[in-house]
Every structure is written in C-alpha cells, then in structure tokens.
Amino acid sequence: MSNLTHKLRAALLVGALAMLAGLAAPATANAAGSSDPTNEEVLSWERTTPASLPENWTKAPRKNANDKPVPGVKGPKTPPAPPRPRTKAGSFALCPGCTFHDGGVDGHTGTLPTGFYANLEVEAPVLDTAASDNYTLTEIAVEKSVNSARQIVECGWAVNQSVFGNTQTHLFVSAWVNGSFLGWGTGFTDNAANTTHNHGTVLSTNVFQRCGIQYFNGDWWVWFGTTTGVGDWVGYFAGSNWTGASPTVTTFTNNDTSHAVGQVNADNDPTCTDMGDGVIGSASSGAYIASTSNVGGTTSAMTWSESPAYTGFDVAGLSARTARYGGPGC
C-alpha cells in the first residue's frame, strides 16, 4: 500500500474523530472517597453532538484534588533492592507456557463500544532470559466472541527478548483471529505518516503513556502517546484479517469485552520474571493501569482479579477504572 494511501486513511480517521463530542463530565473520587493519583478525569469519548475536538484529545493539564500533578515522569520510588539472580537454584516446577495475568476485564451489553483506551505506566521489569519464550508485558485489548471463538486486538508495552532481540521495553501490537494468535505485529499495517511510534519502538520507562484501540472505516486502529493526548496513530489491523478468515468473521466491528492487564509468560513456577515495575500491586509503589475508557458504549467499569492466583503477583483495584498491579520475580 502506498504512502499516499496510508495518509488518506489517516486523514479520514482524523476527520471522523473531529466529530466526536466533548469529554463526559469528570469522574468523581473513587469508591474509597480519595482522589485518584492517575488523572481519572478522562472518561469515554462519547459520540453525541458534534464538537471541535482535536485529533489527539489534548486536554489542559490539571491537578487532582489532593494537589498531585497529572501523571508524567514519576518521582523516585523506594531504592531498588540489590540485583537478584534470574536463574535461582532450588525447587522450581517446570510449567512451559505458564501465563500469569493481573488486571481487569469489563464485559459489555447493549450498545457496544468501538474501542478502548487506558493510561499505562511503562516500566522496565527484569526478564528471566533462561528460556527464550519468557516475556513480561502490560496491555489493553478489545475482544468479541464470534464463531464461538475470540477475536482480539491488543496493544501495550513488552519486554520480550525472543521477539525484539534485547531486554528493553518495546511498544507492541498483536491480534487473534478465531482464537488463534497471529503473532507479534503480524497482520498489522504501519501508518507511514507516523515515524515516532511503531510496533517495536523502544520506549522510555517510569512514565505514564496512553494506549488506545479504535474501530474505524473497516479497520482496527492503534494509538499511542501521552496521557494528555499528544501522540500518534501507530497503524491498523485491516478488517480483512477477519473477513478473509475461515470461518469468516464479519461482525468484529465493535467489542463485547475490554481488557487491561499485566502478563508474564514463564517456564518456571515460581518465575524469575517481574511483572509491572517489580513491586507487588498492593504496595503504594506498584505499577498503575489507570483511567480505563471506552469509545462509545457505557462508562468503563473493570473487575480486577489475578489468574491464576500467584503468590508473587497481585492486583489492587483503586476504583472501577484504576488499579495497581505487578510483583517481583524470584
């Protein structure tokens, strides 16, 4: 596909987004009555009346009720512990392909959303490189059940040596068709007009970034940038990934489920790979998934949990849209 075609598609997307309504009213304090430290002001981008909304939903910075700044570069955390071995001797149960999830899921009924956004804390977790298929990531995902199978688009950040060739933190995208994983970046069309954020881009860490997925004009687009809306349309998964599948999928034009999770794939239990920032989610310095937001549909309301239960990791829901998660490896 030519660069001109890419630019035309991006221009169409920008034009449609300019018709989105202004943001819904600011969220109230969380259930505990305290202010959310991760700028939970951003709600869903509802399609109601036309409004002049910038392409990237840029909002003026504000301070929370407790006078904490809007997320950006974070301040120092508790000094890290001395480096620990990643291939610790002892009793480890082999569990090839073990996957641990800590995060949230939101099932939708009625008017279904056509996308999902969240603020993710980008970190540099330690990866156990003893097995090539070990990885650690944090992602958002949209999903719909069609043909009794899962249709999914994912985006987020990951440390995966086998895919990216190092242990740095990278932006990634991926998708599933009829319950089968396409691969890291497989089936994705890069937006040539954007040279800053691409699948595989090395990301700065210890910062909050926003990641988004939105269905538009037959394709699933991915957006990545700052929590104030300065960023890029990374590219899209063409609808033909699903309509051309066997059996064909013609109704993956919205999502009946939204996910926001930290994930570790490991070959040992316990694992020596960190999740999030390597701090357990119940601690105040755990990593954040924040301000989850739907595109259309109802206001996001996540159910936070861990699956399977694992002593080293956990998730602590702070509200229906924000949680801390993660934990250390061995």
Ramachandran class of 248: left when φ > 0, alpha when ψ lies in -120 to 50, beta otherwise: beta
Share of the chain above pLDDT 70, in %: 71
Neighbours of 244 (CB within 10 A): 11
Q: What is the pLDDT of residues 239-256, one digit of tens each?
A: 999 999 999 999 999 999
Band of residue 270 on the pLDDT scale cut at 50, 70, 90: confident
Residue 319 vs residue 329, higher pLDDT: 319
Query: What rounded mean pLDDT belongs to the chain?
Result: 78
Q: What is the pLDDT of residues 296-311, one digit of tens each?
A: 988 999 999 998 777 7
Q: Provide the token pair at 278.
A: 């390597």
pLDDT for residue 23 is more than 50: no
Q: State the alpha helices, DSSP H only, in the chain.
A: 3-17, 161-164, 240-243
User: Quick one: pLDDT at residue 132?
Assistant: 86
Domains and CATH numbers, the chain: 3-49+92-326 (2.60.120.200)
Sheet holding 180-184, edge to edge: 180-184, 170-177, 149-159, 135-146, 257-269, 93-107, 303-307
Collapsed DSSP state (helix, strand, coil) of residue 16? helix
Give the residue from 268, 293, 214, 255 showing the smallest Cα distance to 27.
Answer: 293
Give the residue from 186, 183, 184, 200 showing the smallest Cα distance to 234.
Answer: 200
Number of residues written out for the chain: 330
Q: Average pLDDT for residues 38-61, to the nearest whole number? A: 32
90: DSSP letter: S
